[in-house]
Amino acid sequence: MKKTIFFILQGMAVATYGGLDTNEVQTLRRELDDLRARTRSLEEKLLRLEQQSQGGGLATTNNLPALAAPASPTNAINLAGGTHSIAGTNLTTAASVPPTNSWSPAQPITVMRSGSAYMNVSFDAVLDAGWSTSPEVSKELQLGDHDPTQRGFSMRNAELALDGAVDPYFKGFANIVMKLENDNSTEVELEEAYLASSSLPWNLQLKAGQFFSEFGRQNAQHPHQWAFVDQPLILNRAFGPDGLRNPGARISWLAPTPFYTEAFLGVFNGQGGTAFSFRDSETDGSHGRSPWDNHLRGPGDLLYVPRVASSFELTDHQTLLVGASAAFGPNNTGEDTRTQIYGVDTYWKWKPSNAGDGYPFVAWQNEALLRRYEAGADPAAGLPAETLRDWGFYSQVLWGFRPHWVAGLRGEYADGNSGAYDNLDPFRGERERVSPNLTWYPSEFSKIRLQYNLDHGEKFDVEHSVWLQLEFLLGAHGAHKF
C-alpha cells in the first residue's frame, strides 16, 4: 500500500515537473542554494569549534563524517518536510540504522576521568584562624585534636583520602592526616585504613583495619564534614581528642524490614589515645592514675561497640534517622576496671523537592552520651578507687537559607559526678557552650566558616572565642553517607 502511494506520488512529481513554471524552479533552486550554504557554514563552524576545543592541530576532515553520522537520521526526517512518502521511507531506514557511536579522532582524549581511574584521590586541608580570651586555648577550651588550638592561625587537619574498589570482593579506604603542632612540627597519623566487603551474603558487610567506630553520628565523620569548627564537648570527654578509632573489625547487617534498619558490631583492640576511655596509655584518659600495662588476657579485654540505627521518611520532604550505640571494654586504671559508654542520636532533615544545589534545607542533629568509668586506686598519686560518671549532650541546627549559605547554632552541656582528680582534669567538671556560626560554600570544594563560641566552665568561668575556618578540597572525593 505504502509502496503504491509512493510510486503514484513519484509519478505525479515527475509528471508535474514538466509543468512547473520557471518561477517555481528558480525558487526551488534558490532554496537549495540556501540550504547548501547553511550546511557549509555549519560544517565550517563545527570544524572551527573542534579545533578550538582541541587547541588546533588534531582536527582533520576525517572528523566530519564521524560527526555527521549521529545526526543523519534526523536530518533525513528534517528533509522529509511535506511529502509523506519520502518521510515514511526515510524514517524506516532511520529506525533500522542505529547512530554510530564508536570513538572517533574528533573526540577529545581525556587525561583522567573518575570512572576510569582505579581510585578517588583527594587532599583536603582545613585552616583555622581566630582569637580567644583564653591564652591557653588547647589546654582548657579546645581539647579536640582537630579544633583550632591556639590564638592566630592553626592547621589541624590536612588529609589525604584514597578510596576505590580493591577487586570484586573488597573496597579499600585510607585517610592519612597531617597536623601542625603549636610549635609547627608536623604530626602524621594513619587515621583510617580499612577494607570493606562488597559481596557477603545475607545482607552482611564486614569492615576490617583501622577505622572510626560507628558510635553515634559524628564520631565516624571526618573533621571536614563537621558542621562546626570543633568537636562536641561530650564526644571529647567520652572518646578523647581524636575520637574513637582503633584497629579492629566490624560486621553490619541490613535488616529485611521495609524501613532502613542496620545493626553493627565493632570489635577493637581498644588501646592508646584513640581509645581514650579504654586502655589509654596516657595519663589524660586515665584521670590522673598512672596507666597499668594491661595486655589482652582474653576476648573479654577487647573493646565492643554495638549500634542499631533506623530511618523513616516522615513525609516526602522529611527524613529521620535515629540510633542507639554502646561501647564496652576494660580501662587502664586497674587490673579489672571497666568502662561503659551509652549513646543515643537523632538526625532530622527537611529539604523541599525543588531544592537547587541542595538548598534550602534544615537539619537538626542531637547526641546524648552517658559514661561509667571504674577508676582504680593509685596510692602513689593519692587517688582512690572510684566510679566516675559523665554525661552530656549537644544539639545543633543547620539552616541552608540560600544556595551555598548555611547558618548554624549549637548548644552543649557536659557534666559528671565529682572525682578525686577533678581539679587538675580538663576533661571533667561542668561545662556549657553555645556556638552560632555562618558558613559560605563558594563551591562544593571550598568553604569559609565564621564561628563564635561562648564558653562557660566551672574551672574557667566565661571565655569568648571567634574562629574563622577555611577549607579546600582537591581531587575526587568519595560520596558521603546521609
User: H or E element: which one contains 11?
Assistant: helix 2-19
Asked if residue 295 binds other proteins (CB under 8 A), the reply is no
> Using the rule CB under 8 A, is 182 a contact of other proteins?
no
Chosen residue from 80, 308, 434, 470 binding other proteins by CB under 8 A: 80
3-state secondary structure of 440: strand
53 interacts with other proteins by CB under 8 A:
yes
Which of these ranges, 217-225, 278-286, 308-316, 461-469, lies near other proteins under the rule CB under 8 A? 308-316
Question: Is residue 167 involved in binding other proteins (CB under 8 A)?
Answer: no
Minimum distance from residue 349 beta carbon to other proteins (Å): 7
Binding window for other proteins (CB under 8 A); candidates: 14-22, 220-228, 316-324, 377-385: 316-324
In angstroms, the CA 210 to CA 245 distance is 7
Backbone angles phi, psi at 466, to 5 degrees: -130, 125
Site for other proteins in 222-261 (CB under 8 A): 254, 257-260
Which range touches other proteins (CB under 8 A), out of 16-24, 199-207, 293-301, 412-420? Answer: 199-207
User: Considering the rule CB under 8 A, would residue 351 count as an interface residue with other proteins?
Assistant: yes
By CB under 8 A, tell whether 404 contacts other proteins.
Answer: yes
Query: Based on CB atoms, which residue is closest to other proteins, 207 or 289?
Result: 207
Nearest residue (CB) to other proteins, 50 versus 412: 50
Determine the 3-state secondary structure of 156 from DSSP: strand
Please state the φ and ψ torsions of residue 91, each to the nearest 5 degrees: -65, -40
Nearer to other proteins, 328 or 445 (CB): 445
CB burial class (10 A; 0-12, 13-18, 19+) of residue 131?
A: middle
34 scored as a contact of other proteins (CB under 8 A): no
Judged by CB, which is closer to other proteins: 214, or 412?
Answer: 214
- ω into residue 306 within 30 of 0, thus cis? no
Candidate segments 99-107, 127-135, 178-186, 334-342, binder of other proteins by CB under 8 A: 99-107
CA dist., res. 451 & res. 410, Å (int): 10
Angstrom CA distances, 469 to 108, 137, 441, 465, stand at 39, 16, 11, 13
Euclidean distance between CA atoms 274 and 325, whole angstroms: 18
Segment contacting other proteins (CB under 8 A): 50-58, 181-189, 286-294, 385-393?
50-58
Q: Which of 203, 290, 417, 423 binds other proteins (CB under 8 A)?
A: 203
Per CB under 8 A, 311 contacts other proteins: yes
Q: Min. distance of Cβ 247 from other proteins in angstroms? A: 21
* Of positions 24, 31, 167, 357, contacts other proteins by CB under 8 A: 357
The piece of 29-37, 137-145, 310-318, 370-378 that touches other proteins (CB under 8 A) is 310-318
Burial of 205 (0-12, 13-18, 19+ CB in 10 A): middle
Which residue lies nearer to other proteins by CB, 99 or 152?
Answer: 99
Interaction between residue 319 and other proteins (CB under 8 A):
yes
Distance CA 298, CA 306 (A): 19
Residues 101-130 contacting other proteins, CB under 8 A? 101, 107-115
| Residue with cell string 565550517 | 44
Question: What is the spatial distance between Cα 14 and Cα 17, in angstroms, rounded to a whole number?
Answer: 5
Instruction: Please name every residue paired with 192 in a beta bridge, in sequence order, or none if there are none.
Output: 175
Is 148 within 8 Å of 128 (Cβ atoms)?
A: yes
DSSP 187-236: EEEEEEEEEEES--STTEEEEEEEEE---TTTTTS-GGG-SSSS--HHHH
Site residue total, other proteins (CB under 8 A) = 68
DSSP string, 65-93: HHHHHHHHHHHHHHHHTT-HHHHHHHHHH
Q: Which is nearer to other proteins, 173 or 215 (CB)?
A: 173
- Please give the backbone phi and psi of residue 125, each rounded to the nearest 5 degrees, phi first: -125, 140
Between helix 84-96 and helix 2-19 the angle, nearest 10°, is: 130
By CB under 8 A, which span of 3-11, 48-56, 150-158, 238-246 interacts with other proteins? 48-56
The Cα–Cα gap between 426 and 214 comes to: 26
User: 336-367 burial by CB neighbour count: b if 16+ within 10 A, else e?
Assistant: ebbbebbbebebbbbbeeeeeeebbbebebbb
Q: Does 35 bind other proteins (CB under 8 A)?
A: no
The yes or no reply on residue 315 touching other proteins (CB under 8 A) is no
Q: Is 99 in the site for other proteins (CB under 8 A)?
A: yes
Residues 358-397 that bind other proteins (CB under 8 A): 358
User: Judged by CB, which is closer to other proteins: 252, or 271?
Assistant: 252
Stretch that binds other proteins, among 191-199, 225-233, 281-289, 292-300 (CB under 8 A): 191-199
H or E element: which one contains 386?
strand 386-402
Which member of 51, 54, 89, 281 binds other proteins (CB under 8 A)? 54
**By the criterion CB under 8 A, which residues form the site for other proteins?**
53-55, 70, 73-74, 77-78, 80, 87, 91, 94-95, 98-99, 101, 107-115, 165, 168, 171, 196-200, 203-205, 254, 257-260, 262, 309, 311-313, 316, 319, 321, 349, 351, 353-358, 403-404, 442-445, 478-482
